[in-house]
Amino acid sequence: MTMARSIGALVCIAQLLLSQLPLPGPPQPGPPDAQGVAKHIADIHQKVERTLAVNTTARRALEYSRFYLQRAQTSLRTQHPFAADRIAAAADALLHIAEHQEHLRTNGGPKGPPPLAEIRRHLERVYFQLQQADYFLTEAHDGKAAPFPQWARDFYQLAVKAADASDSVAADENAKCAEEVVRALENLAQAASEYTPAPPNPPPPLGARS
């Protein structure tokens, strides 16, 4: 009887300890499937070809998008599916800039602009995102993207001026353009991480035996 009580007590203690352990996090995604990445690139390419260059800004965005789609295809051919997927995501973000330029001409997107107060809150978030643009450029190691941080800041300034003038459409669409440029930079920085070699092991401490 005493043994049974001891075992029962140990079981209770073990259950209590287990209940206090942190739960495991969600499983981390594995490397993207090459076939899925190829389809992603093809889908973006089709959208690029369907999107009109309504102004100089849209034309510039589409040219960048095509450039990065070609780079994504090259990365995929050279067995770098993760980099290809991230570069394609950058191309997609740049494509959205052209779409937002079209919305500027049609009085906003399908849902129209949100209230001005909501746009101002969005601008506050975009401001903090802009602080990361130069860092992402450094991590991307991509000379082609060198103008992007200033491009994002230019969009932000246009959005602020439009908000001050109570132009909800221009404020909303330009804020989204600034956000898309930073998103493109972030994806390019992630893509570069696949090509960055791991740092070498530190040398053994002085006096250590071989």
pLDDT of residue 195: 64
* Model pLDDT, residue 2: 52
Q: 34: which 2 tokens?
A: 């090459």
Name the pTM for this structure. Answer: 0.78
pLDDT at 84: 97
pLDDT score of 208: 43
Residue 17: predicted pLDDT: 44
81 lies in which domain range?
34-194
Distance CA 46, CA 39 (A): 11
List of residues 6+ apart from 185 with CB closer than 8 A: 90, 132, 133, 136, 137, 140, 145, 148, 149, 152
Alpha carbon 9 to its chain centroid, in Å, reads 51
Give the pLDDT of residue 5: 52
Total structural domains within the chain: 1
Inside any domain, residue 90: yes
Determine the pLDDT at residue 23: 43
3-state secondary structure (DSSP) of residue 166: coil
Output the pLDDT for position 110. Answer: 76
Structural domain includes residue 202: no
What angle separates helix 81-105 from helix 168-195, to the nearest 10 degrees? 170
Considering the domain boundaries, does residue 126 fall inside one?
A: yes
Q: What confidence score (pLDDT) does residue 178 get?
A: 98
* DSSP per residue, 19-72: HHSPPPPPPPP-PPPHHHHHHHHHHHHHHHHHS---SHHHHHHHHHHHHHHHHH
10 is a domain residue: no
Q: Going residue by residue through the chain (210 aa), what tens digit of pLDDT does each one get?
A: 454 455 454 445 445 444 454 444 444 445 678 899 999 999 999 999 999 999 999 999 999 999 999 999 999 999 999 999 999 999 999 999 999 999 998 887 778 788 999 999 999 999 999 999 999 999 999 999 999 999 999 999 999 999 999 999 999 999 999 999 999 999 999 999 876 544 555 555 554 444
pLDDT of residue 196: 54
Number of H helices, E strands in the chain: 8, 0
Residue 20 placed within a domain:
no
Asked if residue 38 is part of any domain, the answer here is yes
Residue 156 maps to a domain: yes
Q: Is 16 inside any structural domain?
A: no
* pLDDT, position 32: 76
Q: What CA dihedral angle connects 54, 86, 135 and 140, to 10 degrees?
A: -100
pLDDT of 151: 98
